[in-house]
Structures are given as structure tokens and as C-alpha cells.
Structure 1
Amino acid sequence: MTKQTNHKNSDELNAVELEIARNRLASIAEEVGTALIRTSYSPNIKDRRDCSAGIYAPDGELLAQAEHIPLHLGLMPTVIRNALAEYGAENLRPGDVLMTNNPYLGGPHLPDICVITPVFRGEELVAVVANIAHHVDVGGMTPGSMAGHSQEIFQEGVRIPTMRLYAEGELQREVLALLMMNIRTADKTRGDLMAQVAANRLGERRLLELLDEWGTDGYARAGRSLISYAERRTRAAIAELPDGAGTFTDYLEHNGVEEEKIPITATVTVDGEELHIDLTETADQVAGAVNCSFAVSEACVAYVIKTLTDPTLPSNAGLMAPITVKTRPGSLVHVQFPGAVAHGNIQTSQRIVDAIYGAFEKFTDGVVPAASSGSMSMVTVGGVDPRDGTYYSYVETYGGGQGAAASGPGASATHTHMTNTRNTPCEVIEREYPLRVDAYEIARGTGGEGRHRGGDALLRRLTLTRGQAAVVAGTSRVTTAPWGLDGGHDGAPARVLRRGADGVEEERASMSHFTLGEGDSVSIQTAGGGGYGSAGN
């Protein structure tokens, strides 16, 4: 039975007050994210901006987010809520700072470390500010900590339980020392971690300034009002969709260890103002590192509902209130310990989106776009630089073709769906690492034909200029292709190549790991987007 609409009550803010509160809190979240980007050490955060930030109520309910990465933003509420419950909010003290990267709490993978700062007014916990950032190394079997062929979490790096990095304002030096001893690029990781702490401190100051204006009760009232407002907006947006149900199955082509056709099945039901998404028919968790946490699945759902209804829907706890997501523990989309997860968000989150879109397409008309490139297409290159004997770790995700839609063509060489990072400039790559960028271009003609063409793919080729390096190249849609819709053609598949210094090229699987020597290169051409509509119409 459909629930009754959550009508506004007399305790809530009026329309003007709501807009002021929404913008005040969002601006604090944005300032936290900006501070993190400007003070971080690694190109992965300061150039690519692989990080996100948000403001939360004392119980972990999301109040406001910065407009960063859909995957991070969708799963952070689960991480924060579970981390606070695991540690115990009653055990927190002013000056404490928590950290965790545990995927079984709802995090994505181990390089994404979440830093959580409780905000106290006197002795009362009144708010939480948190950010998450992708670190270029957290240990594990390969430089960059993104091995696709890992088969258990212990091979992927250091797993951090919810614990204090700062205790009542004092850095826990032994904790930090233990963490850094297990990381190849300790200088970069330490700098980025301290940047996360400093960014949260800025957010804490801004929240306390706000609390001086509004008072604790006023802040709590604003939070309740914003969540209620988001729920009302989301219910209204869902109600605009046609009632109905649809089921669709899409496939991953590689489990990280070997090629395997892995089904991801989504059943979508729209019932008035409510949305139900069932992912329980998805395959069991697999041997390699493409499993993902249940929170990743929830993040995909939050993204899809905004893209198919109203992208201006407020991103707070109210967004998911009228939405039910059902997963099966022990499946690809709800991994259980000790399943490997490094590429769950890189590959699997994108295919979850494709499956949900496909299910919506069964009972809607002109709402769903064609499939995009289908992967975040991550490349890591790491080793010891023989010039100075230090470890380095290049980490980057590559854009691809965006699927076309009824409204127009897809964009080319862009990040789509659950990723929203920038690129690392070629000059930065060549300055920071023993790498030369030999190609960085749009792969013309790779988008699917149609009334509206799919976006073209991206090609990047990197050559190692000295020493030896370990490479992990992880993409998707190599043996499959992004599907077109309404008569539109599929996009061109992706390609992974290893080229020796002698010029001999070797095609590799979508999930590959190999070694480069001086003069050897790796290249990824991502997939093009699917086309929409018959070209003759």
C-alpha cells in the first residue's frame, strides 16, 4: 500500500527559511570540499578531485552535500551512520576525529578513507562533518591498492576499523605510524589524510558560527525541515513517473581473475509516490575484486532517481525515504567478508545503473538514455622510481562516451553516472611520475549511430620512461558494447593494449595486470556511448 504523503507540519521552516538553510549548509559542505582539494598532496585529490564532503545530524542523518562524486555522496550516509553506531556516539568527546575505510560498513573500497569529525557545542554533540578521499596507496598486493585479481580483502590493503585519529584534540601518533608503515606512498597519504582533518576543522568552525546564529534547537529544526522537504519533493517526482514494473539483466564480463559473464538483475516497481528496486536476483559474489557493498547499490539508486526525474532534488536523508532497495547478502551487489571489493565501484556500480535504467525502460517512454561507456576505467601505474628510490603511484579514472537520449546526443570523453572526477593534466603526470603521455585524445567514430549519436570514447597511452612498474588496467565493455535504444546502434567496445618498447602490441582483457619496463606502454580506449533512435527518423 502506498504511504501517505509526508505533509509539511507547523514545526517546519517556511519556504524562504528553507532556501536559506539549504544554501547555508550546502555552502559549508562545498567549502570543506574546496579546502580539502586545495591542501591535499596527491594529484588524485588536488587535480582530479576524487573526494566528497557532507554535513550530518548527530545521529548520522545526511543534511547537505557538496556537488562532488555521485558514488561517494550516495554511500557516505550509510558509512557515517554505521561508523557512529559502531563507535558509539556516547563515546565521542570534543576534539575527537574518527576514520574508517571498512567496506563492510558500507564504504566503497579501501583507498577511500572517510574522516568523521563530531561537532560539539559545549558538551553536547550537535552535528557531524565528514569527507571521503581516494588515497593513492593503502598497501596491498599492487601499488595503488587497486588489484583487480585480489580474492580477499586482506590482499587489498590496510582495513581501518572505526577508530580515533585524534583523541580530544591529540593526534594518535602510534595509530598514524602503524598506518603509514603499511603504505608505499606514506608521504602523500599522510599529507592527504591531514588535509582531510583540516578541511573538517574548517567545516566545524563554520557550523559553530551557524549554531551561534540559530542555536542548537534552530539547527535541529532546520535539519528536520530540510529532510521533510526533500522527501516531499522526491515523492512528487516519483509520482510523475508512470506506475509499472520492469526487470532487466545486464552483465559484467570479467570478475577480476578471469573472464566470466556475471548477471546483474534489477526489478523496478513504481507505485504512486514510492519506488521499489530489487537486486536480489543478481549473481553471487565472485572470486575477484568486482564485488561491491550494499551502500554502493543504494548510491546507484539515489543517482538514477535524480537523473530520471529531477536533478535538483535535495541530496539529504529525505531523498531515499520513499525508496526501498532490496539486496541479497553474499551477492555481487552486497558483498560479505572477506570478499574483495577494489573494483566494485569502478565497474559494478556502473553496471548496476545500466540494469536499473534497463528496467525503467520496460515501462517508460523516452525517459531512459542509451548506455554509456559502462566503467570508470581505472589505470594505476606504480613502483620505485630509480632516480631517487622512492615509491610512486599514478591513479586515474578515464572518461568515455555518454549514451544518447531522446533529447539529444551524448557527450564525448566524459565521466558518466557514478563518477565525476576531473582528469590529471598531462603536465602533472610527467612532472610527478616516470611516465610520458603519448596520446590523450577523443576516439572519433566510437559513439553509436542513431537519430542522436552516442558520445565518442577516450584514448590515453602512457609510456614508462625509467625503471619497472606494475600496472592494473581495469575497464569494461571490451567483449560487450554499450547498448543503443529505440533503434540506435551500440557504442564501440573498449580496448586495453600493452605495447612493448619494440612496438609489438598485445590486446589485454578488460581487467588486466602486468609489468612495464623502460619504453613499454599501456593504453586504454574506453567504450563509446550507445545511440538513440533510428538514424532515418
Structure 2
Amino acid sequence: MTADHCSDDLGPVELEIARNRFESTAEEIGTALIRTSYSPNIKDRRDCSAGVYSPTGELIAQAEHIPLHLGLMPTMVRNVLAEVGTGSLEPGDVLISNNPYLGGSHLPDTCLVTPVFADGRLVAVVANMAHHVDVGGIVPGSMATHATEIFQEGVRIPPVKLVQRGELRTDLIALLMANVRTADKTRGDLMAQLAANRLGERRIGEMVAEWGPGLFRRSCSALVRYAERRTRAAVAALPDGIASFTDHLEHDGVEPRSIPITATVRKRGDVVEIDLTASADQVPGAVNCSYAVTEACAGYVVKALTDPTLPSNAGLMRPVRVLTRPGSVCAAEFPAPVANGNTQTAQRIVDALLGAFAQIVPDRVPAASSGSMSIVTIGGRDPRTGRYYSYVETYGGGQGAGPHADGDSAVHTHMTNTRNTPCEVIEREYPLRVDRYAIARGTGGAGRWRGGDGLIREITLTDGAATAVVATARVDSRPWGLHGGRDATGARIAVTHRDSGTTELPAMSSVRLEAGATLSVRTAGGGGFGKDRSTAAGVEGSVGAQA
């Protein structure tokens, strides 16, 4: 690519060079964060994401990290920049926020935004988001299921400068660390986020120096237009239609209840409208989610069902209109708690969208997957060191079978894309012992194509006392099959105390553990797809009943 290129649009070779250059920069930011982080949640599980944005917050390129983060970060970055004002930014500044009402997911997901200047002019923004193992609140890990207001979930950070003109604001760091349990891990992970963005800032600076500011700007615009063209073409290839589908959450965090998530899809020409306005009002417990989470789900489903190779930038969402109702479970307003909205409700929004799309493009939509990120946190004070610890992990489950293949077993699906924490790391870092870690055989739904199986993990607290929080789903309901495929087996949570036996727990639970107590989690399988000889006499999967 040369600086004397005069066309507003790039040629195909130049466009591909620009796309790979920007995407590799985003990937490098993410890799640096993973390699320099302190907590196993980031360095082992890779619960983080990164991207490159225009000066106004328009997404240019992302790393292939977590669909939920990647889908909501553009809203978060755009709103953070608007709140602070780009006119107040200077070289060396770094912004921080975790406010879900501005487009975040929940308080542990903290976003750092670094403006990039060239010759005194703002040319781009780099940002990353990472899930911190504790940000305060009423339970270790800051993922309380039973919270009834945002204040119980931890420290909410408005958009402020964490670094100003290159100087770290140690007063702000001290304030934040005074309100979290795991100050050493949290501070280390924040520094890793800063360093990763600094690397991205250097890479963007190298591009501007090599291409010149004009070609750099044109490249950003051309990549967005390219993604929009491809997305419109992919959407146009789908048949037109209107369809609705309702799925349900079974627990609001405070009590069991049926919470309807209703999605209506209207597809016409090269535009698709996704309407969640008929979903339930926001609830007392912590399964509410921000409107940005809902937008992320919509973008994920459209990309998955049209063309998974579509570039992930602002152009992807231009043909997609997302309607939400403020004050609903899909667009919560202050002071609604939101800790488990992304781990539970996001997955149910995807299920509802897939159920609607299954009526328009039945040959592309898979059966329901396990339906939850199944997040487990165990935290307390380690008697061996006297320090607080917080074990955080999301567990995989069964993938729904598709039109042409079985579902995978014990994997993260849909809006999550993290790894597991190795058993050796759990036992090294925490007073915990992993007694069992296995695939839950036979939990996937039968069919012509079989759903994947869930997983089982049993963990024993070896010393001291701790609080365990488990948030999963499909305990009282089952992931549905499609086109005659059978529903999967649901999830199960149980705790075995040394002196009082085993107790089964509801989908959203908090329990106090003493040394010797064992927590057992079995995640749900994925639904089956299509009839085979064993299901030919059975009833249709539940999509037909709920549509």
C-alpha cells in the first residue's frame, strides 16, 4: 500500500492487506494481555477481548475472542468517548469504565480505552475488555445471583482517566483496590490491560507512519464499507419472512420464575430487524442485561446464519436493526442488577433468535445448546496465605446438533468462547481439589444428528470456609431439539457437606462451604436435530410448540 493512492475505496489486494494488518493488531493486543495478566481467568481461560476503533468509536477490527465482549464493546467504546469528550483527550491518556448502563456487560468486565494520536491528531482508538476475578460486592467473585441492585455487585466505574498524559493515577488505583478482595490480581490484570493497549498504540502509529494519515483513514472507511456490502449480500440471500419465538429463563436469581424472552425477526431484502420489545420487564434478580448485550447477540446470530467469514466491524451491523424496550430484561435500566445477564440471558436471547430464524431458514439453524455459560465462583480467605482468593470459571456444555452434524460435547457455545481452567492450575492457585472432570455421557438429545453432551465437574474445598455461587440454566427445562430431534438432558447442581449429606440446588444458587464440602455441577446437553429410528415415534422438538 502506498500513500499516493487517491481512490476513496481500496483495490482488492490493498483491502486485504489493510484487513489483515488491522486484525493482526487486534490479535496482538489480545495476546499481550493474555501473556502478561496475573489471574488464571485471563491468562488461562482467556476471558478477554480486544479491538481497534475509529476516533468516534466505530469498530474497525477485532480479535477472535469472545462474541459477547466483541459485540458490545463498540457501544461501550462509543459511549465512553462521548461521556469524556474526545476534545478533552491528550496523548498518553487512557480511559477506564465498567458501567453496564453505558454498554458494558457486568461490573467484572472492565474496559480500557486508549486514544492514539499522530502529529497531535486523534487517528484511532484501541480498547480491550477483561473479566476481573473480583470488583467488590456482596460475594467473592462479584457474580451474586441474588443481588437486587447494582450497588451490591461491586464498584461501578464511570468513564474516567486511569492514565493522564502518561501518568498513572495512583489515587484512583488506590481507591479501586481498597474496594476489591483480590487487589494483587486485580491490579496486575489492570496493568496488563494498560500494557496491551500501549502495544496496540505503537502498532497503529507504525501504520500511520508507513501509509500516511490520509490512506490510514481511507483504509478504515473502506473496511467498514466492505463489511457492509458483504453483510447486505449475505442477508439478501436469505428468504424474506417474519417469525417469532419465545423461550424462557427459569430463575431470576432471587426466586424460581418463568421469564419470557420473545424475539421477532423481520427479514426483507438486504435488511433484518430483530425485535425484543415483547420480552419481560426487568426483574428483581441479577439476570437483567444491558441493551448492548442484546445487540451483541443479534450480531452474532446474523453472522452465524449468513456467513461466519464476514468481517467483524461496524459494517456488519449496518443492515441489522435491533429493537429493545428500556426497562426490560433485555435492556435493563439503573439500578437493576446485571451480574448474570450476560452469562444467562444472553444465551437465552440467542435461543429465542434461533427459534425464530428456524421458521425462516430451517436448513441453517441448529437445535438449542446448553443454554448457559454456567459460571461458578468460589471465594474466601485462604488459610495458607491469609489472602483473599476468587476462583472464577465458566463451564462448557453440549452444543445443539445442526442440519448436517452432531453437536460437540463439553464446549463453550454461542456468546462465550473461553477456555477451561486446567485442574492443575485450580489446585495450585486455590484451596480446592478437583475430584472429577468428565463428559456427562448421554445428556445430548437424540436424533438424526445427536446433540453434544454436557460436562461434570466436582470440586472440594480443602481448607477454610468459602462462598460458592453457581449460575446455570436448563435445570427445570431442557434444551430443545429441532425437526423431530429430542430435547437434551438438563443441568444439575448439588453440594455435599461433610456432616449433612447431599442437597440439590436450583439453577441460580449461593451456598456456604466448609472444608471438606464438595460442589458438583453437571451442565446441560444440546438438543438433537431430525428424526431417526429411535425418535420417529416421539414428539417434535419444542420449537414447534413455542413458535
- Whether TM exceeds 0.5 here: the answer is yes
For residues 493 and 387 of structure 1, what CA distance do their matches in structure 2 show? 37
Specify the code of the residue in structure 2 equivalent to 1:334: A
2:413 pairs with 1:416: yes
- CA-to-aligned-CA distance 1:179-232 (integer Å, 9 cap, x gap): 000000000000000000000000000110111011111111001000000000
Distance 1:504 1:181 in 2: 38
Deviation digits for residues 283-328 of structure 1 (CA, Å, limit 9, x no counterpart): 0000000000000000001100111110000000000001100000
Q: Secondary structure at the match of 1:387?
A: coil
1:79 is aligned to 2:60: no
Secondary structure, aligned partner of 2:300? helix
Question: Partners in 2 of 1:205 and 1:249 — Cα distance?
Answer: 47
**Equivalent of residue 528 in structure 1, options 525, 530, 534:** 525
Secondary structure, in 3 states, of the residue corresponding to 1:113? Answer: strand
Gaps of 5+ in 2: 1-5, 537-547
Per the alignment, residue 260 of structure 1 pairs with 257
- Of the candidates 258, 277, 281, which is equivalent to residue 280 of structure 1? 277
Other-structure match for 2:132: 135
The residue number in structure 2 matching 1:374 is 371
Q: 1:290 aligns with which of 287, 292, 301?
A: 287
* 1:391-430 alignment, distance < 5 Å: 391-430=388-427
SS of 2:486's partner is coil
For 1:310, give the aligned amino acid. Answer: D
Q: CA deviation at 1:535?
A: 1.4
* 1:457 counterpart (454, 457, 467): 454
For residue 225 of structure 1, give the secondary structure of its aligned residue in structure 2: helix
**Percentage of pairs with the same residue:** 66
The offset of 1:363, in angstroms, is 2.2
- Structure 2 CA distance, aligned partners of 1:314 and 1:363? 24
| Structure 1 position 503, deviation (Å) | 7.4
What's the CA shift for 1:504?
A: 1.6
Matching residue of 1:348: 345
Matched, 1:146 2:143: yes
Kindly state the Cα deviation for residue 123 of structure 1 after the two structures are TM-superposed.
1.3
Q: Which amino acid aligns with 1:456?
A: D
Query: Whole-Å Cα distance in 2 between the matches of residues 18 and 117 of structure 1?
Result: 25
Structure 1 position 400, deviation (Å): 0.1
Aligned residue identity for 1:408: A
Q: Which residue of 2 aligns with 1:514?
A: 511
Structure-1 separation of matches of 2:71 and 2:404:
26
- Work out whether 1:63 is the aligned partner of 2:69: no
Name the residue aligned to 2:542.
none
Whether 1:328 and 2:325 are equivalent positions in the alignment is: yes
Paired position in structure 2 for 1:308? 305
What is the alpha-carbon distance in structure 1 between the residues aligned to residue 360 and residue 216 of structure 2? 42
Partner deviation per Cα, 1:239-269 (whole Å, 9 max, x = no partner): 1111001000000000000001000000001
Taking the aligned partners of 1:448 and 1:49, their CA distance within structure 2 comes to 30
SS in 1 for 2:414: coil
Show structure 1 runs of 5+ residues with no match: 1-8
Name the counterpart of 1:3. none
Distance 2:57 2:520 in 1: 42
Q: Partner of 2:432 in structure 1?
A: 435
Question: Alignment partner for residue 38 of structure 1, among 7, 16, 35?
Answer: 35
Q: Deviations over 1:498-527 (max 9, x none)?
A: 111247211100000010000001111000
For normalisation by structure 1, the TM-score amounts to 0.98
Instruction: State the match for 2:545 in structure 1.
Output: none
In 2, the alpha carbon distance for the partners of 1:306 and 1:412 equals 23
1:271 aligned residue (264, 268, 271) = 268
1:203 aligns with 200
Alignment partner of 1:126 is 2:135: no
In the comparison of the two structures, how many residue pairs are matched? Answer: 529
Which residue of 2 is the match for residue 164 of structure 1?
161
Q: State the SS of the aligned residue for 1:482.
A: coil
The equivalent position to 1:389 in structure 2, one of 382, 386, 399, is 386
Question: Distance between the aligned counterparts of 2:75 and 2:88, measured in 1?
Answer: 19
| TM-score normalized with structure 2 length | 0.96
Partner SS, residue 212 of structure 2: helix
Deviations 1:397-441 (CA, angstroms, capped at 9, x unpaired): 000000001111000000000000000000000000000000100
State the superposition RMSD in angstroms.
0.9
Paired amino acid for 2:236: A
